[in-house]
Amino acid sequence: MASVNKVILVGNLGRDPEVRYSPDGAAMCNITIATSSNWKDKNTGERREETEWHRVTFYGRLAEIAGEYLKKGRSVYIEGRIKTRKWQDKDTGQDRYSTDIIADQMQMLGGRDSMGMGADDGGFGDSSYS
């Protein structure tokens, strides 16, 4: 049976991107994106908001583009897949898990001014991720 692992996020960067390179020269970039949900509390009538933070990883050319053009607060559209990884806590030795989004497409949102370059926003895709 076929399965689907697809994530679409539209949110704002919580911090500037971090770009690193593997020993073989492959680029990897990590960002965090905040998404928010709003609703009206049925009991109190108050407007409520909940923010969810997502860890996103880019690879290859897409990582380099993200590192160059994305900045804290920037709105971005991301497509990718969910990946859960297991790691060991250095202090306790316990197994830990973290869930990340492995991005394969990105669209920078907002006007020209939010990019700070006077250039049109662009959409980028890269299927060369691991």
Give residue 119's pLDDT: 37
- Residues near 63 by Cβ (< 8 Å), separated by ≥ 6? 19, 27, 28, 29
43: DSSP letter: T
113 pLDDT band, cuts 50/70/90, is: low
Output the pLDDT for position 19: 96
The 8-class DSSP code of residue 115 comes to G
Give, rounded to a whole angstrom, the gap between the first and last alpha carbons of the chain.
23
3-state helix, strand, coil in the chain (%, to 5): 10, 55, 35
- Indicate the pLDDT class of residue 130, thresholds 50, 70 and 90: very low
The residue-averaged pLDDT of 19-24 equals 96
Q: Is pTM, for the whole model, over 0.85? A: no
Q: Where are the domains of the chain?
A: 7-117
CATH superfamily of this structure's domain 7-117:
Nucleic acid-binding proteins (2.40.50.140)
